[in-house]
């Protein structure tokens, strides 16, 4: 056991979703937490725009909230069972998104920060940390855009180069600049009574012209050190998808299936969907439209989309380079750095991908550190649960040579070959819910 500082029991570096969740889990168990966040010192990462804790820099969606047939929905369920700060703040900041969980990003960030600031044993310090602490319990949750000095310190401690990939950000449109005489409100297949998406229809000619514009549009230039960095498939820029084939988008983010245009009674040839981004309903993001097109090119091209001819953008798309550890090699089963076990890592820097996954790994890191500080043996969640499957992937189940960022998915779960394929999703979630109950009871 490592000796805590006189002023705190553990130091959490990074105030994003993972760091905030880790600090919450530690503090609610009675430990004193110093939470360091660089933003607020006059410095920000290339992707952040504000100084609030747990800022959402890409989409405002936590994806599906269906805990019966969806792996990320199951992860939501498990985190709620663990009294997650991130899930509680999401409930307060929720905006309509059909079966998905989406939030007003400003309300969400403010709620996370307010709840942490209200805890007397959490000290939020606006400071840049340039090196891994040489001693004392530490959780590093600096995310995929770790500042250069600290990234260098991590590299020296691991003795290995970090892997890297590109992540792209989707544009946001002001609602009152969308032409609703052209667009219409609907969810795919009109499930339930909600019509949570704005749909912009395209005919074949419009689609082909738009596709050509994406492929031929002027993109952000790569720096020399970025040229061999791969994209993460879950956040692929729209123009990179377009380059894979003329119909790729029509089977992806521009899929028209199940969306009847009320003016024609038919599905359009392609469709662009927008999802509400804030509680007021004034901002809507372009679903699946992450992009590295230059800003002027984005405005020109996106205004060729029917219904968006007069669109004004609250934010245009962007591109940033993400870094992550080769965790199966560098971390032990409790997320500790093998060469410096007083340091744990959490969040996207470990190679998980997605808001919820990042927060879940922060939650687990906080629980692990709490057990260690209390002198208790840590028991990992069963691999049959969403949290257990994600943790197992990060800390050893994945192939180190091909390790890449991963969203939670049923492919990470122990298989149920004996269950019919159509029933497996429900079987995975039912098994997970059965198996997590005794684990939570044992945690007390």
Annotated binding site: 14-19
Contact 95, 278 (CB under 8 A): yes
Q: Binding site for FAD: what residues are annotated?
A: 14-19
């Amino acid at each position: 056991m490592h000796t805590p500082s006189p002023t705190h029991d553990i130091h959490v570096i990074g105030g994003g979703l993972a760091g905030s969740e880790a600090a919450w889990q530690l503090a609610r168990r009675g430990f004193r937490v110093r939470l360091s966040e660089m933003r607020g010192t006059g410095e920000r990462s290339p992707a952040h725009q504000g100084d609030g804790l747990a800022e959402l820099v890409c989409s405002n969606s936590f994806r599906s909230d269906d805990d019966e047939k969806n792996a990320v929905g199951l992860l939501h369920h498990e985190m709620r069972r663990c009294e997650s700060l991130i899930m509680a703040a999401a409930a307060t900041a929720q905006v309509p998104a059909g079966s998905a969980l989406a939030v007003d990003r400003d309300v969400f960030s403010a709620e996370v920060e307010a709840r942490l600031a209200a805890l007397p044993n959490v000290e939020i310090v606006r400071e840049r940390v340039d090196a891994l602490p040489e001693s004392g319990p530490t959780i590093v949750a600096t995310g995929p855009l770790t500042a250069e000095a600290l990234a260098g310190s991590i590299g020296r401690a691991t003795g290995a180069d970090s892997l890297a990939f590109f992540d792209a950000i989707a544009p946001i449109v002001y609602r009152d600049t969308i032409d609703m005489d052209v667009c219409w409100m609907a969810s795919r297949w009109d499930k339930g009574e909600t019509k949570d998406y704005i749909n912009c229809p395209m005919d074949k000619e419009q689609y082909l012209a738009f596709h050509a514009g994406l492929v031929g549009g002027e993109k952000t230039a790569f720096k020399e050190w970025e040229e061999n960095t791969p994209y993460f498939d879950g956040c692929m820029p729209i123009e990179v998808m377009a380059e894979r084939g003329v119909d790729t988008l029509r089977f992806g983010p521009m899929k028209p299936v199940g969306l009847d245009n009320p003016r024609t009674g038919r599905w359009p040839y392609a469709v662009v969907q927008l999802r509400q981004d804030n509680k007021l309903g004034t901002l809507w993001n372009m679903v699946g439209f992450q992009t590295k097109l230059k800003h002027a090119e984005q405005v020109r091209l996106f205004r060729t989309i029917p219904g968006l001819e007069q669109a004004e953008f609250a934010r245009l798309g962007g591109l940033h380079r993400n870094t992550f550890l080769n965790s199966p090699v560098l971390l032990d089963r409790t997320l500790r750095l093998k060469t410096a076990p007083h340091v744990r890592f959490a969040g996207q820097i470990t190679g998980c991908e997605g808001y919820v996954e990042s927060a879940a790994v922060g939650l687990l890191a906080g629980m692990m550190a709490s057990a260690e500080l209390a002198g208790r043996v840590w028991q990992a969640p069963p691999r049959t649960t969403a949290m257990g499957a994600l943790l197992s992937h990060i800390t050893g189940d994945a192939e180190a040579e091909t390790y890449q960022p991963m969203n939670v998915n049923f492919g990470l779960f122990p298989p149920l070959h004996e269950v019919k394929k159509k029933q497996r999703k429900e079987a995975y979630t039912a098994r997970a819910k059965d198996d997590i109950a005794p684990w939570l009871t044992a945690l007390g």
